[in-house]
Structure 1
Amino acid sequence: MNASLGRRAAAEAIGTALLVAVVVGSGIQATELTHDTGVQLLANSLATVFGLGVLILLLGPVSGAHFNPVVTLAAWFTGRRDPHGGLALRDVVAYVPAQATGAIGGAVLADAMFAEPLVKFSTHDRSAGHLLLGEVVATAGLILLIFGLVRVGRAARAPAAVAAYIGAAYWFTSSTSFANPAVTIGRAFTDTFAGIAPASVAPFIAAQMLGAVVGLGAVAVIYGRAAPVPVGEPSPAVPSPIRTPEKAVDHE
């Protein structure tokens, strides 16, 4: 699908909003149904796995289904010398604000659906060092997975693979794997199970950016230098909209 930049940015905004609505809404529902923290986390992670997989499958052919500024920035960085024209800087400028705005909207939507205050900043402090390490690990693994799939020609498997990884990372990382600056910002706007205190947002984002660097480094070590990207249409969760040498596939 050769979507315009406007439609791709809209897909990123809507996709990120729905992702955060799934994360926050399932967290609220879980706390209303049980007081067992383990069961709450299980319900929250399962809903996120299913929701994320569906969203990548649905919106991947339009925008690449990044829903995540570190994925967008990594795609731009790795494709900046691509002769076929990878993700352009103007795409980054459109995608990242769309993702952040969508994430905030998704948190507000989830709160509205459960009759919570529409905007109430979280009091859930997540500033401990071991949680930041968890974010570095979670984000590095996500970047390695996405760009590794592209390198081995299996990007079409990203909806299931990315969703499965995030579901696993809920449990094996101390931070429960935010791994996404936009989602982190959105989750600061809800004082519910999935929230994060505003004071913890900047350290989390810094850890995620560091994780992205580590993940790209791992991709380079494991797979070597990237080969030129073949001309074609974007597959779900391929890190960048593919462009032909003559012109961009998006039509303004």
Structure 2
Amino acid sequence: MQLLANALATALGLTVLILVLAPVSGAHFNPVVSVVDAAFGHRPWSEVARYLPAQVIGCIAGAMLANVMFDAPAVEWSTTDRMSGPHFLAEVIATAGLILVVFSLARTNRSALAAPAVGAYIGAACFFTSSTSFANPAITIGRMFTDTFAGIAPSSSLGYIAAQVLGAAIGLALIRSLFPVAR
């Protein structure tokens, strides 16, 4: 039941946040999405360099705020060990799929569908991956600060981030292969 509630809240909340903040920042909440965007030449690397710390700080602040809202200490280091071979593979798949969703829509002039598509994908990936689809290095770092169902132990975070970087590279290669020219 916790996973269902978390997936639903994530899917709906992410959709709304993308819709609201897309005009401000392009809704860049995810470092690997921002890096892939720059790799395609859609965003200057200097802008990505400014986004990355903001993304991480935002996720840490969000975890701390959620902790306080639910009457937990603002910082409570997670003790949930999540790293295993299957989790690593799942996180690679989750991240590659996210990159595929975002950039296939952009390459085919369907970016207006990004908010619901990304929300739906991440919500679904919470269930179809054993890692519960973090698919975001900033979220991985932020979730170290909560010892709730959603947390990840600091000892597991580097493996997740490595999987996310690998997944982003695979997603980038898939986009270049499947959608070589923007339409």
Q: Tell me the TM-score normalized by structure 2.
A: 0.98
Matched residue, 2:6? 44
Contact 2:108–2:182 (CA<8 Å) still a contact in 1? no
Deviation at 1:226, TM superposition (A): 4.3
Aligned pairs for 1:95-110 (under 5 A) are 95-110=51-66
Quote the Cα distance in structure 2 between the aligned partners of 1:212 and 1:112: 32
Alignment match, 1:159 = 115
Given candidates 79, 88, 96, the residue that maps to 1:132 is 88
For residues 18-47 of structure 1, what are the alpha-carbon distances to aligned partners after superposition, in whole Å with 9 as ceiling and x for unaligned? xxxxxxxxxxxxxxxxxxxxx111111001
1:67 to 2:26 alignment: no
- Equivalent residue of 1:182, what SS? helix
Counterpart code for 2:7 = S
- Cα separation, 2, equivalents of 1:49 and 1:162: 8
* Aligned pairs (5 A) from 1:132-211: 132-211=88-167
Structure 1: give runs of 5+ residues left out of the alignment: 1-38, 80-85, 228-252
Segment drifting more, 146-155 vs 217-226: 217-226
RMSD of aligned Cα (Å): 0.9
Tell me the distance in 1 between the aligned counterparts of 2:59 and 2:93.
Answer: 22
Q: Which runs of 4+ in 1 moved over 2 A?
A: none
User: 2:179 pairs with 195, 212, 223, which one?
Assistant: 223
Q: 2:91 touches 2:167 (CA, 8 Å); kept in 1? A: yes
Aligned residue identity for 2:70: F
In structure 1, C-alpha distance between the alignment counterparts of 2:107 and 2:144, rounded to whole Å:
35
- Aligned letter for 2:20? L
Structure-2 separation of matches of 1:143 and 1:196: 22
3-state secondary structure, aligned to 2:91: helix
* Larger gyration radius, structure 1 or structure 2: 1
Task: Tell me which amino acid in the other structure corresponds to 1:45.
Answer: A
Structure 2 distance, partners of 1:217, 1:206, is 17
Secondary structure of the corresponding residue to residue 188 of structure 1: helix
Q: Which runs of 5+ in 2 are unaligned?
A: none
Counterpart Cα distance in 2 of 1:161 and 1:59? 16
| Deviation of 1:155 (Å) | 0.2
Aligned length: 183
Q: Give the distance between the partners of 1:53 and 1:224, measured in 2 at CA.
A: 27
User: How far off is 1:225 after superposition?
Assistant: 3.9
